[in-house]
Structure 1
Amino acid sequence: MHEKAATIRPFAVTHRSLLAIALPAALALITEPVVGMVDTILIGRLGDAALLGGVALGAVAFDVLFALFFFLRLGTAGLVAQAVGAADRAGAAVHLMRALIISLILGGLFLALAWPVTEIMVRIFGPEPAVEAAFRDYFGIRLWSLPLVLLNFTLAGWLYGRGDARTALLLALVINGVNAAASLYLVLGAGLGVPGVAWGTVLAQLVATLGGLWLVLRHYEGVARFLALVPADALRQVEPLKRLFSLSASLIIRSVALMAAFAYFSAQGSRAGATVLAANAILLNFFALSTFFLDGLATATEQLCGKAVGAGYRPAFRRATRLGLGWGLVIASGLSLLLFAAGSTLIDWMTTAEDVRIAAKGMLIFAALTPLSGMPAFIADGVVTGATMAREMRNGMVVASALFFAFALLLEPLWGMSGLWVALHLLFVFRALILFAMVRVREPSLFPDPGRA
């Protein structure tokens, strides 16, 4: 059950308030892959293919690992947004402190399990001996940044929950700036090679964590006042902890279900041959690019819908949803048109293999339509996350994924890879329809009648 505001607190949801969160959030999301790219580029300058392969694999391994913990940002943002809507300053502080403690516990646990985690990753990626040595060096050092990354996820969630996307963008830029400068010095200046880029990333995350914690203490006017808002008995309350763990578990299951669908899509492409696999990799990069912009809108919708739930103000909840879908349609249409117009040129730029070019251009229409078919699902995700509808979020994704597998098994034998692309589009559509239907059912309980309340 959601913690309700004692009174209804009306507030306006405008195009400006939505875009003020969506645009900085999109830019911050775009910068996130840059850390791994900088590491790869710097090691690539050394001219050793084995070192480059080890770092590239290490960056992918961390992307997978971090995806499992992204619930810290999403969950914190939704809970803090509701506290902001309810004008509950202490509640926002308690949600933040709980998430920070969980981040430290999870980060410490993974550090304690560093050896088996590394071995599992080696088994998964199966690098050849020369590449494996570089992978172990890079992965082993970057693991020390894991608690810091989780803390930064939580701090970013707190900022997004408060609607302060500009500061979240600033912290993302700090991470990338410090990482680039430190790695450049450690690799090309100090000659540390692979360990240099790994330690540069650890340093960048540390600087961002310290900066984020300073912002928290500044907002709450010092350590003493912050701690006064989060007494130990508040942190130990069972119901809020159950709510946080339920939300976290549901977000993890949702992520795993989504990753399973994409993993199956990639695996089937691999079975179709190297040419199809390479073509799909290029086209999925087009979709990945559009997700940054759609995720920015989802983040804005999450904050405004969460604030509306906390404020007990249904009109703001509905308007945030409508504006999210409206701007989503505008942005997704623009992205699809861009991919239609420039897709062939981008494919030619990304590969010189003529067979891959032909295969990718033959399926370009499917990739170009992904922003439009995927947009409602992103907005729906923001709505249910802001409302902390943990069970619905989890069940909706599981059902949509099951439908994806059913249609993939049906359509691939009929239409080949085109059938798989159609199934992927259906995954997005089913996910949006299911989540919005669940929101409609749950909305009366999110905003109970004032007389009955």
Structure 2
Amino acid sequence: MLFNAADKALWRLALPMIFSNITVPLLGLVDTAVIGHLDSPIYLGGVAVGATATSFLFMLLLFLRMSTTGLTAQAFGARDPQRLARALVQPLGLALAAGLAIVLFRIPLINLALHIVGGSEAVLEQARRFLEIRWLSAPASLANLVLLGWLLGVQYARAPVILLVVGNVLNIVLDLWLVMGLHMNVQGAALATVMAEYATFFIGLLMARRVLALRGVSLSMLKNAWRGDIRRLLALNRDIMLRSLLLQLCFGAVTVFGARLGADIVAVNAVLMTMLTFTAYALDGFAYAVEAHSGQAYGARDDSQLLAVWHAACRQSGLVALAFALIYGLAGEQIIALLTSLPSLQQLADRYLVWQMILPVIGVWCYLLDGMFIGATRGAEMRNSMAVAAAGFALTLLTVPALGNHGLWLALAVFLALRGASLAVIWRRHWQRGTWFS
């Protein structure tokens, strides 16, 4: 049966998350378009460097959302309001403390980031101006990760849409006003994001307050929620952060090794990576839904619900992955033509289009299994799986001298395949031994 109650429940969460995720690259496109219309390319370069540094830092702290979703979903499944309160208050306090530390130490952190990047002094100066304002949003940005994770964990399906879409639309409007209207250049782009992040934070708090009341969480529970097993939260976050670091390093290596193959290869890979990123954002919608539903099943110790979630996720996301492969196979050349108008890059990109058909079908399984393990808060096993995949990625890079850019994309395929395969082995072992809920 291709569509049953479990499939409907999965889509109820996945569809809003897919829609919300798609607004994220849209914001990047608007930022590029607005800054790209200024009278010098140094502004666009500065924002690009600043955005890359910000993305790297905040992606390392993405564990705040992932761990919060898992812990919240488990409390939701166990129908435990005290644990539900703790799953919000403890990571929220951690996020605000980390954000405040980034604000206080942002100048030396910016100096370090720009020293590592290097390049044109004019571009780096614009990046500095951007980052000095942009990182003022750190407390709100990190708190928003927690609020998003918590609201997802209680399966409040509309919340991700409201938070991400309202935040991104507000960012776009402020971008146009501050950059184009008030001529604030890169400072305007940074300030637009800061204002949007804090606005999103307050909207998220209002949503969380409503859900807390509905779930029977009292004020006294919230006051005492900071107490409890904080060591478990810190250990879980440590493991997921190390996993995120390995992930970032592997994707960063694609750019570094691509640069050694020439300027055209870097440009082509940027175009192809846009397609891969879009696919990943869509398939991640299913992974987020799996996090919430598998965490609920884990909290309730309900193995039948867990299997129903897994089978539904395999069916629905598998079909979507095949649809992406088919679309890229039939219309890939036309999509590339929309992303670049340069004939030489179009012809070169067509050589590597086959990877865009292969990667969705390979990658979908590691995304789904990530969701299963996040729901069960098995951070150490996710970290170990990522280490295995990173080692396989590094070994496959040895084929680059012989295969060229195909070797890079092969390494990426091996990386995704090993992530999925290693998690599948661990999951199967737990299931056979009956230790998944232990």
TM-score (norm: length of structure 1): 0.91
Per-residue CA distance 1:328-348 (angstroms, 9 max, x = gap)? 210000001111112112223
Aligned to 1:8: none
Q: From the superposition, tell whether residues 46 and 277 of structure 1 become closer, same or farther in structure 2 (CA, over 3 Å).
A: closer
Q: How does 1:85-124 map to 2 (within 5 A)?
A: 85-124=77-116
Q: Does the C-alpha gap of structure 1 residues 371 and 259 become closer, same or farther in structure 2, counting only changes over 3 Å?
A: same
- Do residues 445 (structure 1) and 435 (structure 2) align? yes
AA aligned opposite 2:290:
T
User: d(CA) in 2 for partners of 1:74 and 1:13?
Assistant: 26
Q: Secondary structure at the match of 1:14?
A: helix
> CA–CA distance in 2 between the matches of 1:263 and 1:106?
24
Q: After alignment, is 122-131 or 92-101 more displaced?
A: 122-131
2:254 to 261, 265, 275: 265
- Separation (CA, whole Å) in 1 of partners of 2:337 and 2:31: 25
Instruction: Flag the 1:310–1:225 CA change in 2: closer, same or farther, 3 A.
Output: closer
Residue of structure 2 equivalent to 1:3 = none
Taking the aligned partners of 1:228 and 1:150, their CA distance within structure 2 comes to 25
Which one of 266, 270, 273 corresponds to residue 284 of structure 1?
273
Which residue of 2 is the match for residue 235 of structure 1? Answer: 226
Give the distance between the partners of 2:316 and 2:254, measured in 1 at CA: 29
Structure 1 unaligned blocks of 5 or more: 1-11, 449-453
1:355 and 1:80 map into 2 onto residues whose CA distance is 50
Q: Residue 345 of structure 1 corresponds to which residue in structure 2?
A: 334
Matched, 1:418 2:391: no
Moved more, 91-100 or 349-358: 349-358
Instruction: Assess if the C-alpha contact under 8 Å between 2:148 and 2:160 holds in 1.
Output: yes
> Of the candidates 343, 356, 364, which is equivalent to residue 375 of structure 1?
364
Give the aligned residue type for 1:98: Q
Q: Is this contact kept in 1: 2:76–2:296, CA < 8 A?
A: yes
> Does the C-alpha gap of structure 1 residues 187 and 272 become closer, same or farther in structure 2, counting only changes over 3 Å?
closer
Post-superposition offset of 1:225:
5.9
Give the aligned partner of residue 305 of structure 1: 294
What are the Cα deviations for residues 174-228 of structure 1, in whole angstroms up to 9, with x where unaligned?
Answer: 1112212222222233332222222111111111101111112222239x96431
**Partners of 2:271 and 2:34 in 1: how far apart?**
23
Aligned to 1:5: none
1:164-183 superposed matches below 5 A:
164-183=156-175
Counterpart selection for 1:212 from 181, 204, 219: 204
Q: Please list every run of 5 or more consecutive structure 2 residues that lacks an aligned counterpart in the other structure.
A: none
Matched, 1:133 2:131: no
Structure 2 Cα separation of the partners of residues 196 and 226 of structure 1: 41
Q: Residue 25 in 1 paired to residue 17 in 2?
A: yes
Corresponding letter in the other structure for 2:48: A
* 1:7 aligned partner: none
- Paired position in structure 2 for 1:6: none
Aligned AA (2:415): L
Q: 1: CA distance between counterparts of 2:347 and 2:181?
A: 43
Q: Is the 8 A contact 1:312 1:446 kept in 2?
A: no
The answer to whether the 8 A contact 1:279-1:360 is kept is yes
Aligned to 1:433: 421
Distance 2:42 2:218 in 1: 49
Secondary structure of 1:236 counterpart: coil
| Higher mean C-alpha displacement, 345-354 vs 287-296 | 345-354
Residues 1:226 and 1:36: Cα distance change in structure 2 (over 3 Å): farther
Q: Deviations over 1:278-332 (max 9, x none)?
A: 2222111111110011100100111111100000100111111111111121000
Output one character per residue of 1:83-127: Cα deviation in whole Å (capped at 9) or x when no partner: 000001221111100011000110011111111111122123224
The corresponding residue for 1:68 is: 60
Equivalent position SS for 1:424: helix
| Residue 251 in structure 1 maps to residue 240 in structure 2 | yes
Which 10-residue stretch deviates more, 284-293 or 353-362? Answer: 353-362
TM-aligned CA deviation for residue 416 of structure 1: 2.6
SS for the counterpart of 2:213 is coil
**8 Å contact from structure 1 (residues 13, 320) kept in 2:** no
Rounded to whole Å, the distance in 1 between the matches of 2:113 and 2:392 is: 30
2:56/2:248 contact within 8 Å kept: no
| Number of residue-to-residue matches in the alignment | 432
Asked whether the 8 Å contact 1:36–1:56 carries over to 2, the reply is no
TM-score (norm 2): 0.94
CA distance in 1, matches of 2:64, 2:279: 23
State the distance in 2 between where 1:107 and 1:197 align: 20
2:435 alignment partner, SS class: helix
Identity of aligned residues (%): 33
What per-residue deviation string (whole Å, max 9, x for no partner) do you get for residues 13-44 of structure 1?
Answer: 61111001111111112222344433332222
Equivalent pair of 2:74/2:375 in contact (CA under 8 Å)? yes
Paired letter, 1:252? M
Aligned residues: CA RMSD: 1.9
Q: Distance in 2 between matches of 1:13 and 1:72?
A: 30
The correspondence for 1:157, drawn from 149, 154, 173, is 149
The whole-number CA distance in structure 2 between the counterparts of 1:186 and 1:413 is 47
Deviations 1:228-285 (A, max 9, x none): 11344x5233xx2122112111111111112222222222221111122222221111
1:317 and 2:317 equivalent?
Answer: no
